[in-house]
Structure 1
Amino acid sequence: MRELLGRVTALDSEAGAAMRVIAYFDELLEQRAGLHSVVRGAAFLAGCPARLVDDGRRLRLRIGADGVRLEWQHRSDPGWPAHQVDAEARLILERAGEPTVLDAMILERAAATARSVLDRTRARPTRADPALVEILLDPLPHPRTAAAPPPAWPCPPRPARSRCTTARP
């Protein structure tokens, strides 16, 4: 693959860069990387800060081109290149001007990888999900969820509270 990538880069530098983007995000998918790694990769490859905004999951993640998490800034330029991850999540590159072909490739591959992570972590459970009751009542961790990475929540989870009421005659 590396030899082919070298040959393609020698013929067309843009095509070689696009293939590197594809290979990078495919590797993240294979390693089951988290959202931080996906947004960090998008920022690094684009050479500008990147952000993931998901209002449904109350998730806001902003990473600089150097890979360091940045403080959240609410201002956003509607001219910045962006790609819809799912119905509520968007991946945005904080770059002014016309998006390049490589920006579009980075956004598309990063959004697909982020969608896979969000689907895998189930960060937005529904109230009617019977699996939540099973997880709550099961004394042993399920083998599938014991090794899973923690969900990408913006704040630490609160301890679970339960309330039992009994009917009195």
Structure 2
Amino acid sequence: MEALAVRLSQLDAEAGGAIRVVMFYDTLMRRRVDLPALARASAGLAECVVGIRLHDTGRVIRFGPDGRPASGPPAPASITSPLVLDEEEIGAVWLERPGPPGLPGSLDDLLLDRLGIAVMAVVERYGPARTTMADPALVELAISPDSDEAARARALRLLGFAAGQPVHVLAVRSHLPLDKVGGAICPARPVKAAPLADVGVILATTVNPARVPEGVRAGIGATESLDRSWQQARTALRFTTPRRPVVHHDDLGALALLAEISRDTARGNADVSAIIRVAETPEDLETLDAYCATGSLRRAADLLHLHHSSVARRIEQLGRTLGIDLTEPTGLTRASLALTAWRLLDA
């Protein structure tokens, strides 16, 4: 490689310089240096301040070309490169070179690229890396009912979970990136996420339902066996609504049996068919949903920001449409079950 660099430098100074940069970082990686040593060596090579930042710890490392930690506030970066590991941005590296960035013939892009590779190698070596996104194949192996326990244990170990550590499974639908959702739900403990088929999967050692971001739907399984927990999480996700965006399977009780009913059977039920007709008018559907959720005209009126007499008139009309006396406990139960079964048709 040294001989190649010499020959290239005689033919093309920039090509020879590029080879020398690659050799420089190959040598550092073979010596298994740590992050401060990487920053120090890079600053000497670049002849300017070099910075490294890791998002999960907030750690920032800056060294100047004199080999000493850079003092004072950081200067504006002349060039920055993100650190992307397992499709998640875990940090950044940059140069604080005085003068205009992107000088002709500059090897800054290559230097930062090789520095980024070296930094991620160090993070993985001394990790495990605290990334949230994981290999979907590993996550699927951990939760699949077709996996034996040995394969499941190995997958969890490779994902960074200690043996015997309880792991919760969540099925989520989200407008936010999965790593953001996972980090919010379990900010200080191991958590992994991956897209799987039509839903996102999150594996977490602890789950705080109150920390699920707004607008995210999440179903939570039990912690007994991961394959069973995954099925429970998917079922719970089907029961989520705008009013109840997070559902734990344990809280469903006998309602979970509704998920076992076939779509044809549900559509053929007279109460569910009536709900389908009601759903054609969003205002009626919202009124019925609020009333079923609260079981009270006054509390439903509070949710809808209406006078309770207005809600009473709507409920009376809805009762005639459904053919159910909604003021009776039995009628309210029928309407609630039919409304839930209707939601499961499209969940």
Bucket of the pairwise TM-score, normalised by the shorter protein: 0.5 to 0.7
Aligned residues: 131
Gaps of 5+ in 1: 135-169
Are residue 77 (structure 1) and residue 76 (structure 2) matched? Answer: yes
Aligned residues of 1:53 and 1:91 also touching (Cα < 8 A): yes
SS of 1:131's equivalent? Answer: coil
State the match for 1:98 in structure 2.
101
Q: How far apart are the structure 2 equivalents of 1:67 and 1:54?
A: 21
Once the two structures are superposed, the pairs formed by residues 1-169 of structure 1 within 5 Å of their partners are 1-71=1-71, 73=73, 75-77=74-76, 80-86=78-84, 87-95=89-97, 96-100=99-103, 101-122=106-127, 125=130, 130-131=161-162
Q: 1:130: Cα distance to partner?
A: 4.1
Matched AA of 1:121: Y
SS of 2:162's equivalent? Answer: helix
Matched AA of 2:81: H
Matched AA of 2:29: L
State the match for 1:155 in structure 2.
none
Q: Compute the TM-score of the two structures, normalised by the length of structure 1.
A: 0.68
Matched AA of 1:28: L
Q: How far apart are the structure 2 equivalents of 1:58 and 1:124?
A: 14
Change (3 A) 1:2 1:129: closer
Change (3 A) 1:19 1:55: same
Structure with a larger share of its residues in strand: 2
Q: How far apart are the structure 1 equivalents of 2:44 and 2:67?
A: 7
Aligned residues of 1:43 and 1:64 also touching (Cα < 8 A): yes
Q: How far apart are the structure 2 equivalents of 1:8 and 1:102?
A: 15
Q: 1:94: Cα distance to partner?
A: 0.1
Q: Deviations over 1:106-153 (max 9, x none)?
A: 000000100111111117658x9543989xxxxxxxxxxxxxxxxxxx
Q: How far apart are the structure 2 equivalents of 1:32 and 1:84?
A: 22
Deviates more, 1:95-104 or 1:82-91: 95-104
Q: How far apart are the structure 2 equivalents of 1:36 and 1:132?
A: 32
Q: How far apart are the structure 2 equivalents of 1:4 and 1:19?
A: 8
State the match for 1:147 in structure 2.
none
Aligned residues of 1:61 and 1:72 also touching (Cα < 8 A): no
Change (3 A) 1:14 1:125: closer
Q: How far apart are the structure 2 equivalents of 1:115 and 1:36?
A: 13
* Percentage of pairs with the same residue: 27
Q: 1:66: Cα distance to partner?
A: 1.7
Q: Deviations over 1:20-42 (max 9, x none)?
A: 10001011111111111211222
Aligned residues of 1:53 and 1:59 also touching (Cα < 8 A): yes
Change (3 A) 1:133 1:89: farther
Change (3 A) 1:14 1:133: farther
Q: 1:5: Cα distance to partner?
A: 1.3
Q: How far apart are the structure 2 equivalents of 1:23 and 1:129?
A: 32
Q: Compute the TM-score of the two structures, normalised by the length of structure 2.
A: 0.35
Q: Which has the larger radius of gyration?
A: 2
Matched AA of 2:92: R
Coordinate RMSD, CA, aligned:
2.4
Structure with a larger share of its residues in helix: 2
Aligned residues of 1:49 and 1:94 also touching (Cα < 8 A): yes
Matched AA of 1:131: A
State the match for 2:276 in structure 1.
none
